Structure 1
Amino acid sequence: MTQLNDHPLSSVTPLGNHAECLTEILRNDVNLAVWQRNLSSCWQSFINEFCVKAGNLERFTRLEIGQSAALALPSWVLAIEGANHWIDDVDQLVDMYQCLFEPEAVGLRIHVLQQTMCPRFHVDRVPVRLLCTYRGPGTEWLPESLVTRPTDGGPLPKQSAQPAQVRQIPTNAVALLKGEAWEGNEGKGLVHRSPSPNGSPRLIIGLDWLSS
């Protein structure tokens, strides 16, 4: 596992080729942990067909322990060859998220995007969010040393980082992004944004910590 040093507020960003690196998000000085994975040929044809047929799609489902991501998908998606392999992967990510944080339930979002969803740098008002981009460019983020924070508790101001300074989560990597609602992380959430799809649809999932 490697670590990128930035700033005392978020002094390291753990990057690793094994899922265990995601546990580093529990550290007070970590706002982002990334598990880098290779693309799977088992999913590729399914993902391409799914994105072409879906156009723009947004699905949200509350998953209790033991429930499958298949609940979030319409029947036509489940009928695409290879859907079961991709759903198995998403289910594994849901299981990992539940084991790591023990939420009452997990909120699963599935997006197929033809346009940029959140083009402005922002922070999330959640404890911690899991993101995985299966197709297209991954989420962009800023090292803490380049972030301009509000001085009065107001909204995050426009960021002045240059394009070359913006970092990007690799496609198919699993990332945990710490938000503003994490205890002790108020005013310190990871600053990130959605990239441009560059003419090709993106497929991205997000997992959130839900309570009753």
Structure 2
Amino acid sequence: MMATTPCPLPSDYDEPCRHAEGADVSVLPRIFDSDINMAILRRRLPLDVEAGARAQCQADKALSVSWLGPPGDGLRGELEHHLHDLHTSAPLIEDILTLADAMAFLFDTASVGLRLRCLEAAMCPRFHCDNLPVRLVTTYSGPGSEWLPERAVNRQGLGAPKPGKPDIVTYPSALQQVNTGDIALLKGSGWVGNEQHPLVHRSPELAVGQRRLLLTIDPA
């Protein structure tokens, strides 16, 4: 099932939402549509993948893994070296490898840039857009990324804050959030033809003591 859902904007809103979402993997190639700047695959994480994610967030030692290269045995070895509780984490590793393979296949590249981090605070709390073509984002534990539909954004407010700069958010009620486990492809300003409409998003706030396990993958 695949759909482009309406955004909760005022009645005078006359521009279609620039995102697509659905529960079938076929929604992800919608990112190649010229009028789409975000594609979301809705999914519920398997219980064993959730257990692996919890193991990372509950560990005393902080987790931060970076990888640039092919999504194969080298990446597997890097994940096995860094992740906590390897037995419990095995299904999580397989899920990450599957997403890395899918990203490489979808964008016809031999290498990916991958980062897996357990965060205790919002990494990018201010609304922004990425200066790259596209990024895969998924949250294995904790709240997902927040984002704004096009007509809820005043792009003049983006960038470093300074006196007199307008607010970025024009319709606070339009704020959207990706669910935990969902896979989101976000177009940035580096996507040819999308320079004026990169997706505007931010990291969610975390409660005291809460942790977030975040995976990002870029074609490289």
- Please classify the TM superposition score into its range, dividing by the shorter chain length: 0.7 to 0.9
After the TM superposition, which parts of structure 1 deviate over 4 Å for at least 4 consecutive aligned residues?
5-10
1:77 positional shift: 2.2
- C-alpha change, 1:11 and 1:79, in structure 2 (3 Å) is closer
1:144, CA displacement in angstroms? 0.3
Of 25, 34, 40, 2:46 maps to 40
1:196: which partner in 2? 205
Q: One-letter code of the match for 1:182?
A: W
**Structure 1 partner of 2:193:** 184
Task: Identify if the C-alpha distance between structure 1 residues 54 and 123 changes in structure 2 by more than 3 Å, giving closer, same or farther.
Answer: farther
2: distance between equivalents of 1:18 and 1:74?
Answer: 29
After TM superposition, list the pairs within 5 Å mapping 1:90-169 onto structure 2. 90-150=96-156, 155=159, 158-161=167-170, 163-169=172-178
For the structure 1 residues 148 and 133, does the alpha-carbon distance in structure 2 shift closer, same or farther, using more than 3 Å as the test? same
CA apart distance, 1:14: 1.1
Q: Alignment length, in residue pairs? A: 208
- 1:158 Cα shift? 4.0
Unaligned runs of 5+ in 1: none
What TM-score, normalized to structure 2?
0.85
Q: By how many angstroms is 1:138 displaced?
A: 0.3
CA distance in 2, matches of 1:8, 1:98: 36
Unaligned runs of 5+ in 2: 8-12, 161-165
Aligned partners of 1:204, 1:60: CA distance in 2, in Å? 12
1:60 CA displacement: 1.1
* Deviation digits for residues 14-48 of structure 1 (CA, Å, limit 9, x no counterpart): 11111110010000000000001112111222211
SS in 2 for 1:81: helix
Kindly, what percent of the aligned residue pairs are identical?
33
Aligned in 2, Cα 1:89/1:65: closer, same or farther, shift over 3 Å?
closer
The corresponding residue for 2:31 is 25
Once residues 201 and 69 of structure 1 are traced to their aligned partners in structure 2, the CA distance between those partners, rounded to angstroms, is: 24
Contact 1:49 1:80 in 2 (8 A): no
Cα RMSD after superposing both structures: 2.4
Superposition pairs of residues 43-82 of structure 1, within 5 angstroms:
43-53=49-59, 55-67=61-73, 69-73=75-79, 75=81, 77=83, 79-82=85-88
Q: Secondary structure at the match of 2:59?
A: helix
Distance in 2, Cα, partners of 1:95 & 1:10: 32
Q: Deviations over 1:49-97 (max 9, x none)?
A: 2111155432211131534543443636264322111111111111111
1:59 and 1:10 mapped to 2: Cα distance? 38
Contact 2:80–2:86 (CA<8 Å) still a contact in 1? Answer: no
